[in-house]
A and B are shown apart, each in its own frame.
Chain A
């Protein structure tokens, strides 16, 4: 068990975005989170990563209560994420985007960076090597000096995922990675996700709208509607669950 969410609640104004949410993620699994628009999926991600504070409930990561930690503290414990609408550092290069992710692993002091000590130079050199290693791994090294905003869409996603992985997470949260992708790009994305799961041996929690992606990739699927979990299980079970069908297609369709 890597992540445990207990009785999580969050409301915005009068709207209950998340209601009594309970979830356990096991180490090494690839778990999907699906549900209609506005079901509260991204809110769950924002709660786990500390961008929102829950009204009540608990989030335990590797036996540590992270409920009230700040986003950067949570990243440092080993949870990283991507965003639904890609959030790269657009006016910076591909290399810099990766470089920034290594920031928190760097340990030299500000004084050392002003004086350019040998330790500073050593650390910077190591980081640079790590960056290029990463870019090579994701087949981006030829584009290292291109501004992130000038990448094709699929590669922006890839860069964002690579950047999240550069943070060396134990748990990776992907928020609709296939959003806005063509069929071809989506297939590449699925390969990429399988690849990183093998390569980095991490737990992945993924929000997805495309059923093809979710059914192919995930070992387990959690379905949300109106802020609550309405179903949970293996892809095959979910596919035939009337509650899920109802949530997606409206009640009429399910019982026809």
Chain B
């Protein structure tokens, strides 16, 4: 029983890591302040669940198809959203993405008016359980590999240049706007991928799983891990999930309430004592910066 729970939590942590890596690409590496990342997770989750639920008899075939389709759709949707929104800078970009997240949540709340099987604010039930530990683990490894290879290439260098100094990036002949669009869309596609995996892990979706508080959680994770550090994001995601979710089974009910009081205090303390996050921009093992 406990083992099963730990496997679930572990798989969940893998999903969160994939999504957080996407946000790190957007904010940590490119410097685009996004507070609506969970919305893309939600889009991926609901879209894939809608597909697998409607064609559940096809089993893993439709699951694979649904995942691929959610990744492509979140990529395209976020690209289209980004075209106007990325004209905004820093805090304003954050506000606009936060607004987008809230709009998506409201749409999900009302989704049952168009697709009754999406359940709206009652939540979407009985999604087939296709996601298992090997699948999330392989997905996570694939995402880490893709991200690492992207970061240490022409594309990743363009993003870093933009984050460091946008005007200098222009002067380096970098098409700043296009690279920003790509970074945002790619990071969001990671979130869509993670959402699709998540939907078939817990087999239940609710719009509040993807509201702006979840976006903020993801932001917390990447800042805690260290902006611009993949190792940091991976470790912070797992720590975050295990400390917050895992402790639920260990602690008695009386202390459980205090969990959510102590957690923000730790957060405030960490921001003060380790402003650069656990890892800064350092990497571990083969994630280390490789020079060409």
Contacts and interface: CB of A to CB of B under 8 A. Distances in A.
Interface string B66-78: 0000000000000
Contacts of B176: 72
Bin the interface of chain A by size. Answer: 35 or more
A184 interface: no
Nearest to B160: A92
Contact of A104 (B153, B155, B173): B173
B167 A72 contact: no
Contact of A164 (B165, B167, B171, B281): B171
Interface in A207-251: none
Contacts of A51: 167, 170
B173 A83 contact: no
Nearest to B156: A113
Contact of B164 (A90, A116, A127): A90
Interface string B143-165: 00010011001110110110011
B174 interface: yes
A110 B170 contact: no
B146 A49 contact: no
A13 to B, nearest CB: 21
Contacts of B158: 100, 103
Contacts of B170: 50-51, 70-72, 75
Query: Could you tell me the dominant secondary structure of chain A's interface residues?
Result: helix
B173 A72 contact: yes
B167 A89 contact: no
A118 to B, nearest CB: 14
A103 B161 contact: yes
B291 interface: yes
Contact of A120 (B153, B169, B173, B281): B153
B173 A116 contact: no
A125 B291 CA distance: 9
Given A95-B291, A96-B157, A89 B164 contact: yes
A89 B165 contact: yes
Given A72-B175, A103-B173, A106-B154, A88 B291 contact: no
Interface in A91-107: 91-92, 95-96, 99-101, 103-104, 106
Contacts of B252: none
A124 B160 CA distance: 17
Interface in A106-135: 106, 108, 110, 113-116, 120, 124-125, 127-128
B172 interface: yes
A81 interface: yes
A75 B158 CA distance: 15
B107 interface: no
Name the residue among A72, A75, A110, A116 with the largest chain B CB count within 10 angstroms.
A72
Nearest to B177: A70
A108 B157 CA distance: 14
Contacts of A80: 171, 173
Contacts of A103: 154, 157-158, 161, 172-174
B269 interface: no
Contacts of B292: 99, 124-125, 127-128
B271 interface: no
A178 to B, nearest CB: 19
B292 to A, nearest CB: 4
A39 to B, nearest CB: 22
A130 to B, nearest CB: 10
Interface of B: 146, 149-150, 153-155, 157-158, 160-161, 164-165, 167-176, 281, 291-292
The 4 A-B residue pairs whose C-beta atoms are closest, nearest first, are A113-B153, A75-B173, A124-B292, A71-B170
